Structure 1
Amino acid sequence: MTTLLIVSHPDIIESGSQQYFLSSLKDREEITVHHLENQYPNGTINVAKEQNLLRQHDRIIFQFPFYWYSATPLIKKWQDEVLGEGFAYGTRKKPLAGKDFGLILMIGVAEREYQAGGEELFTISELTKPFQAMANKLGMNYLRPLPVFQFFYMEEEEKMNTLIRYWQMLTMDNDITLANRENWLIEQLQQIAKPNLEAADREVIMFAIERIQENRFKIDELKMVLDDMFLD
């Protein structure tokens, strides 16, 4: 699976949260990081180029700071120009149909405020309905958004847990079963365990892979026992 990560941020170098996540994607050949402000500093979008990028990838993700309950101005301009009638819709064949679409949102307000009775009153799911409607119109599979709340207040462990969810958003199949998550984690660990890695580090990674596989074997055995019990 290939992923097109469309990032919009007017001052991305100064954004600690953006740099934290984007720097983790180095050497990931299956992910194309596409920063709109860098590509189009004068705001003039190459529509044909953008449409070709969309055709070439299986999953499309928007990543942006959540400004006034919506995307940045350049994301909106990109939508207006790139997803026009005759390409994204209005023709017999929708070129984006069947592809995945998702959102990664950097949010400065605490998560507890995005609910009924909270300061922001509405949930993230409610506030992002226009994107859900867009995906539906284009025949795309809408993924559950990944909101990153108050990144700078996170402890290191919470940052790492969020980073794992970030990688899953970009690279894991749209299947949240435990078995699929285990397979995804094994694949990630195998990619890390390169020949030039120090022997001690490789040993730790291989031990982790073996434990995951052993636990999966035990779960499968238990499931077979339970199935037999119910059949009887």
Structure 2
Amino acid sequence: MNTLVILSHPNLSESGSQQFLINAVEAYEQVTVHHLESQYPDGKIDPQAEHELLKRHQRIIFQFPFYWYSSPSLLKEWQDVVFGGEDFYRQQGTILKGKEFGLVLSVGVSEKEYQAGGREAYTMDELTRPYQAIARHMEMIYLPCFGIHQFAYQSEAKRKQLLIDYQYYLTGRQPASLEHRTNWLVNELRTTNLESLPMELSDKIEAIAVDLKDRQEVLADLKDTLAEF
């Protein structure tokens, strides 16, 4: 699964949350981070080049700060230019048909405010309807929105969890079931370069991977038993 992150942020170097996210996936060869403002500083987007990028990836992610319930202006321009061709208006299906599409949004307001009765009054799903409509038009598989709320105030523990959740969102199998997440985590642990770690930590990681695999087999047996009923 190759993932294309179409990132739009006008001040990327000054964004702690975006730098954190970029560093979180820099070791993943299957993830391409495509920063629009760096690629097109003059704002002149090359639609053909963008089409080729889209064709080479199976999961497409729009990643941006949620400015006034929308994206930075260059991402909107990207949509107007790139989605304007006939490849996106075909009866037999668009070039994005069957691909996955998701949103990674950095938000300055706490998650609890995005609900009826909260400060923002509407949920993130309601506010991102236009992107859901894009996915529907393109016949893509829409993924649940990945929101990052008040990154600057997050604890170290919460950021560690964010790192894992973000890595999975970009590289793991969807939907994110317990079985899929466990398989992904076992693979991540097994592909870690243990030689670069202290012996005690290396042994601990290997033990965790074995334990997870054993638990997964137990869950699989339980699932088969339940299926028989």
TM-score range, shorter chain: over 0.9
Partner of 1:29: 29
Q: Is the 8 A contact 1:193 1:205 kept in 2?
A: no
The Cα of 1:117 is off from its aligned counterpart by: 0.8
Q: Is the 8 A contact 2:3 2:171 kept in 1?
A: yes
Structure 2: how far apart are the matches of 1:91 and 1:176?
A: 31
Q: Is the 8 A contact 2:93 2:139 kept in 1?
A: no
The two structures have a TM-score, normalised by structure 1, of: 0.93
Q: Which amino acid aligns with 1:48?
A: Q
Q: Deviations over 1:29-82 (max 9, x none)?
A: 100010000000110101110000000000000110000001110110000000
Partner of 1:69: 69
Q: Specify the SS of the correspondent of 1:87.
A: helix
Tell me the percent identity: 43
Partner of 2:209: 209
Structure 2: how far apart are the matches of 1:171 and 1:142?
A: 15
Structure 2: how far apart are the matches of 1:227 and 1:82?
A: 47
Asked if 1:106 corresponds to 2:106, the answer is yes
Q: Which amino acid aligns with 1:26?
A: E
Partner of 1:185: 185
Q: Which amino acid aligns with 1:143?
A: L
Structure 1: how far apart are the matches of 2:173 and 2:227?
A: 27
Partner of 1:53: 53
Q: How many equivalent pairs are there?
A: 229
The Cα of 1:93 is off from its aligned counterpart by: 3.8
Q: Which amino acid aligns with 2:36?
A: L
Structure 2 matches for 1:83-162, cutoff 5 A? 83-90=83-90, 92-162=92-162
The Cα of 1:175 is off from its aligned counterpart by: 2.5
Pairwise CA RMSD: 1.5
The Cα of 1:163 is off from its aligned counterpart by: 1.4
Partner of 1:199: 199
Q: Specify the SS of the correspondent of 2:81.
A: helix
What stretches of structure 2 of length at least 5 have no aligned partner? none
Q: Is the 8 A contact 1:51 1:82 kept in 2?
A: yes
Q: Specify the SS of the correspondent of 2:191.
A: helix
What stretches of structure 1 of length at least 5 have no aligned partner? none
The Cα of 1:27 is off from its aligned counterpart by: 2.3
Structure 1: how far apart are the matches of 2:225 and 2:34?
A: 49
